[in-house]
Amino acid sequence: MMSCTNPGYTSFFLISLLVYLANAGNFNQDVDITWGNGRGNIANNGQLLTLSMDKSSGSGFQSKNQYLYGRFDVQLKLVQGNSAGTVTTFYLSSQGSTHDEIDFEFLGNLSGDPYTLHTNVYAQGKGDREMQFKLWFDPTKDFHTYSVVWNPSRVILYADGTPLREFKNKESIGVPFLKSQQMRVYGSLWDAEDWATRGGQVKTDWSQAPFTASYRNFNADGCTSSDVNTCSKANSTWMYEQLDSTAQQRMQWAQKNYMIYNYCTDVRRFPQGLPPECNSN
């Protein structure tokens, strides 16, 4: 089992994270910049990828490979200063109306105000599973690591080795799970001033453009076979990863102190009853 511990001493999870990052890939080999007309760039012999946005366009990339289960890490430094209206992303997604998706979306803010980390999980086209956080560090001052672990039993989202949320396979009670669609890994920087900052009340200050976000140490360790049975039998660490009691406590710490929205407690949004996975956790 992976564990996650309090800051100040090294955990097995953090050692594993360092191993993953030491084996990080090369952006030139692993991704394609798919939009932005030159606003996305790969530098440092494939070790750094930057996305920029101005009033004309943002930019984005996607992985060359598609995956069915795996572990996906990236280090990301967000737009500094007045980033209101901007959204920087790192996510996995399939295509189509019944797509699967796992989201990290970083919603910009006015200078001095913290980012909002917006997370969501879609399974077979069904989303509405938002959890939002204010992070315990400044994600603009340095690179921080964001990770997704996806296996047949669960999806776990981490920030710097701390688990933020876990979406378990609850098919036994009728909740769809992400188990049959290959997904690519994506990153993007785009303008969402109509909703991103304080519900759209604060608009993008284009005098601050271009806005830039930086990615490094991208690692995608997953099953690239399109055969579900093959990927379900993958013998990798991430296939068996789950949260032990220490990691559960760390996740509870993050949610108690830094979570600002949880769909599982929004009874006004779900007057007919909370989603079934909320009641079963």
Cβ distance 123 to 176 under 8 Å?
Answer: yes
Q: 215 forms bridges with which residues in the sheet?
A: 49, 76
Distance CA 22, CA 2 (A): 18
The answer to whether 132 touches 117, Cβ cutoff 8 Å, is: yes
How far CA 258 is from CA of 17, 103, 115, 165, in Å, comes to 22, 18, 12, 12
Positions in the chain short of pLDDT 70: 1-23, 195-196, 280-281
Q: Which residues are catalytic?
A: 101, 105
| pLDDT score recorded for residue 279 | 85
Gap between the Cα atoms of 2 and 170, Å rounded: 21
The three-state secondary structure class of 28 is helix
DSSP 34-78: EESTT-EEEEGGGTEEEEEE-SS--EEEEESS-BSSEEEEEEEEP
Q: What is the rounded distance in angstroms from the CA atom of residue 21 to the CA atom of residue 137?
A: 20
Distance CA(109)–CA(81), nearest Å, equals: 8
Spell out the residues 6+ positions from residue 217 whose beta carbon is closer than 8 angstroms to its own.
Answer: 21, 24, 47, 73, 74, 75, 143, 145
CA 158 – CA 76 distance, rounded (Å): 13
Amino acid at the residue 117: L
Q: Which candidate, 80, 88, 66, 100, places its Cα nearest to that of 141?
A: 80
Q: Which amino acid is residue 3, in one-letter code?
A: S
- The predicted pLDDT at position 25 comes to 86
Across the chain, where does the E strand assignment appear?
31-35, 40-43, 48-53, 59-63, 70-77, 86-93, 101-107, 116-122, 131-133, 144-151, 154-159, 162-168, 184-191, 211-222, 259-262
Q: Does residue 188 contact residue 60 with C-beta atoms inside 8 Å?
A: yes
Neighbouring CB atoms inside 10 A of 56's CB total: 11
